[in-house]
Amino acid sequence: MDFSYLVTRTLFFTALILSASYPVYSNTDITDPTINKKTPWQKLKNNIALTWNAPDNELYIPLNAWHNRWAYDKEKISNYNERAWGIGYGKYRYDQNDNWHALYAMIFMDSHTKPQPIVGYGYQKMWIPKKRNQWRFGIGFTASITARHEYHYLPLPLALPLFSIEYNRIVLQSTYLPSPYNEGNVLFTWIRWQF
């Protein structure tokens, strides 16, 4: 059995069990009553500062980097790594409207099995059908900086969409990297465990 497969599944089920063991969803709402009177740039800076000072943390566990089969030649796909093993850490908060904000850092194995770091700010507008500590669904964006081996690890800015399905403290989150044929077009998925 593949060791990395076993480790990922063990971490996933451990997080799931711990999530069920601590059903209280005790995130502190950190808000600024004057935020609606600010420019978009001031709002962004304010949200980053509030998130940085938030008491809540997240563990990121990358799961998969699926290369869109309709956007690649078959021989290219067979050479790519789709198991994006890695780890990450983030600070997060939910604002007064229950929208998610996070500052994060993650490192994972890219399509060529080379380490790829990423740091950034994430925001998601949340839809909560019932109680806050149950099912939640989010859609938003991340503004980040990454580095790749083929660019000699020079910092590269990156803005991508985010979507998530959440239950209590466990989150399945994804992004899609749109690109021309035979490049990018990757659905990247990870777990966030809130603690």
Identify the architecture of domain 3-194 in CATH: Beta Barrel (2.40)
Asked if 103 and 112 touch (Cβ cutoff 8 Å), the reply is no
- pLDDT, residue 133, reads 75
Q: What would the mean pLDDT of 54-78 be, rounded to a whole number? A: 90
- pLDDT, residue 137, reads 98
Q: How far is residue 171 from each of residues 79, 135, 155, measured CA to CA in Å?
A: 30, 10, 28
Categorize the per-residue pLDDT at 70 as very low, low, confident or very high, splitting at 50, 70 and 90: confident
Model confidence pLDDT, tens digit, residues 90-113: 999 999 999 999 999 999 999 899
| Pick from 115, 114, 120, 110: nearest CA to 156 | 120
Top-confidence residue, 5 or 176: 176
- pLDDT, residue 31, reads 58
Top-confidence residue, 6 or 195: 195
Choice among 67, 101, 144, 164 that is catalytic: 67
Residue 110 annotated in active site: yes
The pairing of beta strand 100-109 with beta strand 156-167: unpaired
- pLDDT, residue 2, reads 56
Choice among 56, 95, 101, 111 that is catalytic: 111
- Bridge partner list, 164: 138, 173
Residue 67 annotated in active site: yes
Model confidence pLDDT, tens digit, residues 109-152: 998 999 999 999 999 999 999 887 789 999 999 999 999 999 99
- pLDDT, residue 23, reads 44
Choice among 56, 95, 110, 144 that is catalytic: 110
Q: What would the mean pLDDT of 30-58 be, rounded to a whole number? A: 84
For the chain, which residues make up each domain, given as ranges?
3-194
| Both tokens assigned to 187 | 């659905």
Categorize the per-residue pLDDT at 17 as very low, low, confident or very high, splitting at 50, 70 and 90: very low
Categorize the per-residue pLDDT at 167 as very low, low, confident or very high, splitting at 50, 70 and 90: very high
